[in-house]
A and B are shown apart, each in its own frame.
Chain A
């Protein structure tokens, strides 16, 4: 699994951080998303999928990564 984010769309709701805090954070200066682990470990992937669904701006997309 590989995570890409669109910081133009991101509105800084923090839902991804709330849902998968090992994987996402928010920038200090504008609250927008930072991906800490673009290829999240297996244990975080369910939370990442949930975060994708919860994002109010539709700013997170997933693609198949090298190790999926």
Chain B
């Protein structure tokens, strides 16, 4: 089968200075050699790195590639003989069927295109409130805390039924899970405190159901531990991902003034613009799979048990799939990207994220016609490549008051 694959020996841990939106050059280089590369994991296990658009799609659509947490190998850290336990009940991202479906299926109807569109007016309202507050307090402002974080957080908390005043400490803990820089001890503390909070929340919904997703789920056969797990991943995913798209997306627009002007001049461009920003930024950049049996992919034989790294951000810059892949073109006609994944694990909240971004970007640009960075672009603090979700830590902006 196939010729000897291109081999990469180390995975990059950061992006080069001055190019914060591009995947690390080592990954783009790997794609240049071919859509699949051999990669030896720390500890010596032979695995694979998939960077081609078509092959990433193929792997994600094929259930012979498992998402189970207990099979997963960390791509850059050797944990030795440490045995990873299966994902806790409810945390369905790192499960296969049928466990995955038990948790995801009851949620599908709550996140349909139609239901998410019904939230448009509420998102407009929440966005306007935050833009008002930002205008009043500034200039300048940190766009992450004033705009990017609170809007998706309010929406997912309202959907799930997390009382607004309880959001603060919860959000701090989620930040710790996601920033890629918190030490193990603090991570455990954040996890424990979040679990305790969610246990209380689930108990409260059982006792006094309100009009939200979590209360509706208490009527199903899911037990408290399962509900806690579901709530955890919905909140974490809802809080961190869109927030990073909004802040990194604004950074990207400010660095592409002609694109920003096009969107500001024509809000009808928003739908396409959001898809292109999703493709271009791919903040959820890497997911892991493990082969359950021998599978041929792109002319290479992936042996049962081999770990596979699917590089979404590199695949979304595949020159075989996208014209001028490294260019940001908000009017791009080529649909389809892997920013939300593909296959059974494709993002459950993608239609919510779309509506949020379609509202929030044009509203921000319309409200602040002179919005600009308040620091040199090189000084914008970025998350390390080791964080699960990429983004900026702070985005200092200013405008003519």
Binding site for B on A (CB under 8 A): 11-14, 17-19, 21, 25-32, 50, 53-54, 56-58
Whether, in the assembled complex, B98 has its beta carbon less than 8 Å from a beta carbon of chain A, the answer is no
Whether, in the assembled complex, B341 has its beta carbon less than 8 Å from a beta carbon of chain A, the answer is yes
Residue of B nearest to A13 (CB): B346
Contact of A26 among B104, B112, B346 (CB under 8 A): B112
Q: Are A17 and B109 in contact (CB-based, < 8 A)?
A: no
Binding site for A on B (CB under 8 A): 61, 104-105, 108-114, 335-336, 341-344, 346, 350-351, 354
Contact of B108 among A30, A50, A58 (CB under 8 A): A30
Q: Are B109 and A31 in contact (CB-based, < 8 A)?
A: yes
Q: Give the 5 A-B CB pairs with smallest separation, nearest first.
A: A31-B108, A12-B108, A14-B113, A56-B346, A31-B109
- Complex CA distance for A11 and B106, rounded to whole angstroms: 11
Q: List 24 A-B contacts (CB under 8 A).
A: A11-B344, A12-B112, A13-B350, A14-B113, A17-B113, A17-B114, A18-B113, A18-B351, A18-B354, A21-B113, A25-B114, A26-B112, A26-B113, A30-B105, A30-B108, A32-B108, A50-B335, A50-B336, A53-B336, A56-B61, A56-B341, A56-B342, A56-B346, A57-B344
State whether A54 and B335 are in contact (beta carbons under 8 Å apart), knowing that A11-B344, A11-B346, A17-B114 are contacts in the complex: yes
Contact of B336 among A13, A28, A31, A54 (CB under 8 A): A54
Q: Are B112 and A56 in contact (CB-based, < 8 A)?
A: no
Residue of A nearest to B341 (CB): A56
Residues of A with C-beta under 8 A to B336: 50, 53-54
Most A CB contacts (10 A, CB to CB) among B109, B343, B354 go to: B109
- Complex CA distance for A66 and B151, rounded to whole angstroms: 49
Q: Are A29 and B109 in contact (CB-based, < 8 A)?
A: yes
Looking at the assembled complex, report how far the CB atom of A25 sits from the nearest CB atom of chain B, in whole angstroms.
7
Residues of B with C-beta under 8 A to A27: 109
Residues of A with C-beta under 8 A to B104: 11
- Complex CA distance for A25 and B114, rounded to whole angstroms: 8
Q: Are B114 and A26 in contact (CB-based, < 8 A)?
A: yes
- Complex CA distance for A19 and B341, rounded to whole angstroms: 17
Residue of A nearest to B345 (CB): A56
Residues of B with C-beta under 8 A to A57: 343-344
Residues of A with C-beta under 8 A to B342: 56
